[in-house]
């Protein structure tokens, strides 16, 4: 007897009336209208069964700290970084763990079962690193949490000096942090930014690790660290293992230069994370009108063969006052900002919060295929486009065959005069 059989599901690729059979936490069969005995038998009623949502860019050490110790008045990235600097000495490991776990609960309820979180490694105590490693252990049964060693204050610019900052970062990796981070646009000069990219990519190559840098998170069209990132990726043979996060300066770059840059990025198999909720609020703050949107060139990157994901980046922290762990909300904003309104582009936006970020994280066993983990989400929507439109309710969420969250179907009841049978 099967452990779980989901029948009459629609899959993201459009196949309808599909059954997904699960045994020992794995998908053992996917076929039309399969009938078999199962301990858990679910009639999906034609609704969309999707692989779990994946967030390739988040800051779990800062999440749910909104208002501590004060609110960002200018709404800029730089005031956010300053504000985080004020909060850091006040952080305790217990409070940090508690907030991160609370966020993970929200995430699971929204079918978000894999998260890559940056963790600030500039504090020599590595307090946030210790806290998030503990969170990673605790949530492992239901969330794959991947951590990036992120030198928020700049590995060369930081107050403790380059040697100490590099040392903090290496110690974080020694403790089990998975990925090498960076922030070249925040270093003091373009030359220092480029040097930081080189040093950090060399460190990743030495240790056989992936790289994910905050890169060119700026409206400055001449912020071109992504070029160096692509170059170092090529030079060190890190193809497919390096991600450029944000890349907002690409929005403002000269079109001729971008026409040269895109093939270089594709050649290096660089991967990209745009963070639409954050990019649309933080960028263009120095503009009067017209105001730039600031998000990187998502459709053009996809057309050039570059893998692009949408990340959440922030939820209720010094940089962003909203958010709920809902990757459909992220996809919805990304779709609007990038004007990805064709049917195929809207489906690409769904991929940008599911399969594309799964590739960036290098997740094993991810997907709706025989042999993959039985981790999936039943949505109250008929297809990926409707899921984005409605930011659809997550009816049921499974992790490796175990039901980890469910939400009752949303069925509005109307009481309209003269329309007794009206339905929403």
Active site residues per annotation: 217
Which residue number is nearest to Fe ion in terms of Cβ? Answer: 313
Could you tell me which residues come within 8 angstroms of residue 359 by beta carbon, excluding any fewer than 6 positions away? Answer: 271, 307
Q: What would the x/- binding string for Fe ion be over residues 42 to 61, using CB under 5 A?
A: --------------------
Pick 223 or 380: Cβ nearer Fe ion: 223
Stretch that binds Fe ion, among 184-192, 260-268, 306-314, 384-392 (CB under 5 A): 306-314
Stretch that binds Fe ion, among 228-236, 305-313, 327-335, 415-423 (CB under 5 A): 305-313
Contact status, residue 349 vs residue 387, Cβ threshold 8 Å? no
Strand order in the sheet with 394-399: 49-50, 376-379, 394-399, 402-406
Q: How far apart are CA 262 and CA 252, in angstroms?
A: 14
Contact status, residue 259 vs residue 297, Cβ threshold 8 Å? no
CB of 118 to Fe ion, least distance (A): 6
CB of 79 to Fe ion, least distance (A): 15
CB of 40 to Fe ion, least distance (A): 38
Stretch that binds Fe ion, among 71-79, 191-199, 307-315, 341-349 (CB under 5 A): 307-315
Contact status, residue 77 vs residue 319, Cβ threshold 8 Å? yes
Q: How far is CA 5 from the centre of its chain?
A: 29
Pick 19 or 117: Cβ nearer Fe ion: 117
Pick 313 or 383: Cβ nearer Fe ion: 313
Could you tell me which residues come within 8 angstroms of residue 326 by beta carbon, excluding any fewer than 6 positions away? Answer: 110, 112, 391
Pick 313 or 329: Cβ nearer Fe ion: 313
CB of 399 to Fe ion, least distance (A): 26
By CB under 5 A, how many residues form the interface with Fe ion? 1
Q: How far apart are CA 317 and CA 321, in angstroms?
A: 6
Pick 81 or 109: Cβ nearer Fe ion: 81
- Strands of 111-208, DSSP E: 112-120, 144-150, 179-180
What does DSSP say about strands 210-215 and 179-180: parallel, antiparallel, or unpaired?
parallel
CB of 279 to Fe ion, least distance (A): 10
Query: Site residues for Fe ion, window 311-350 (CB under 5 A)?
Result: 313
Summarize as ranges the residues that interact with Fe ion (CB under 5 A).
313
């Amino acid at each position: 007897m099967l452990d779980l059989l989901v029948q009459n599901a629609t899959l993201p690729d459009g196949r309808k009336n599909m059954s997904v059979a699960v045994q020992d936490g794995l998908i053992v069969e996917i076929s039309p209208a399969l009938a078999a005995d199962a301990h858990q038998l679910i009639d999906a009623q034609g609704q969309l069964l999707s692989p779990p949502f994946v967030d390739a860019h988040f800051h779990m050490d800062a999440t749910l700290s909104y208002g501590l110790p004060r609110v960002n008045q200018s709404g800029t990235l730089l005031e956010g970084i300053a504000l985080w600097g004020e909060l850091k000495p006040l952080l305790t490991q217990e409070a940090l763990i508690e907030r991160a776990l609370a966020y993970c609960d929200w995430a699971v309820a929204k079918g978000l079962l894999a998260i890559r979180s940056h963790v600030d490694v500039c504090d020599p105590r590595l307090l946030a690193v210790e806290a998030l490693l503990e969170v990673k252990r605790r949530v492992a049964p239901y969330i794959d949490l991947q951590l990036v060693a992120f030198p928020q204050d700049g590995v060369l610019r930081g107050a403790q000096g380059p040697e100490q900052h590099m040392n903090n970062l290496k110690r974080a990796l020694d403790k089990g942090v998975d990925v090498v981070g960076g922030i070249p646009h925040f270093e003091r000069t373009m030359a220092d930014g480029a040097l930081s990219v080189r040093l950090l990519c060399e460190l990743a190559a030495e240790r056989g690790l992936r790289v994910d840098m905050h890169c060119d998170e700026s409206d400055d069209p001449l912020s071109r660290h992504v070029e160096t990132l692509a170059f170092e990726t090529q030079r060190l043979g890190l193809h497919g293992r390096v991600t450029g996060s944000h890349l907002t300066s690409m929005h403002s770059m000269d079109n001729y230069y971008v026409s040269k840059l895109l093939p270089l990025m594709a050649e290096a198999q660089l991967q990209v994370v745009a963070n639409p909720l954050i990019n649309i609020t933080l960028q263009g703050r120095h503009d009067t009108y017209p105001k730039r949107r600031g998000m990187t060139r998502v459709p053009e990157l996809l057309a050039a063969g570059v893998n692009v994901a949408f990340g959440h980046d922030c939820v209720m922290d010094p940089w962003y006052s909203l958010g709920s762990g809902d990757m459909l909300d992220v996809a919805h904003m990304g779709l609007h900002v990038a004007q990805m309104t064709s049917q195929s582009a809207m489906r690409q936006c769904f991929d940008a919060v599911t399969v594309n970020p799964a590739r960036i994280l290098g997740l094993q066993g991810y997907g709706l295929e025989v042999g993959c983990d039985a981790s999936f989400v039943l949505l109250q929507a008929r297809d990926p486009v409707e899921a984005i439109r409605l930011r659809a309710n997550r009816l049921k969420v499974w992790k490796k065959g175990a039901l980890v969250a469910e939400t009752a179907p949303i069925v509005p009841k109307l009481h309209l005069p003269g329309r007794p049978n009206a339905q929403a």
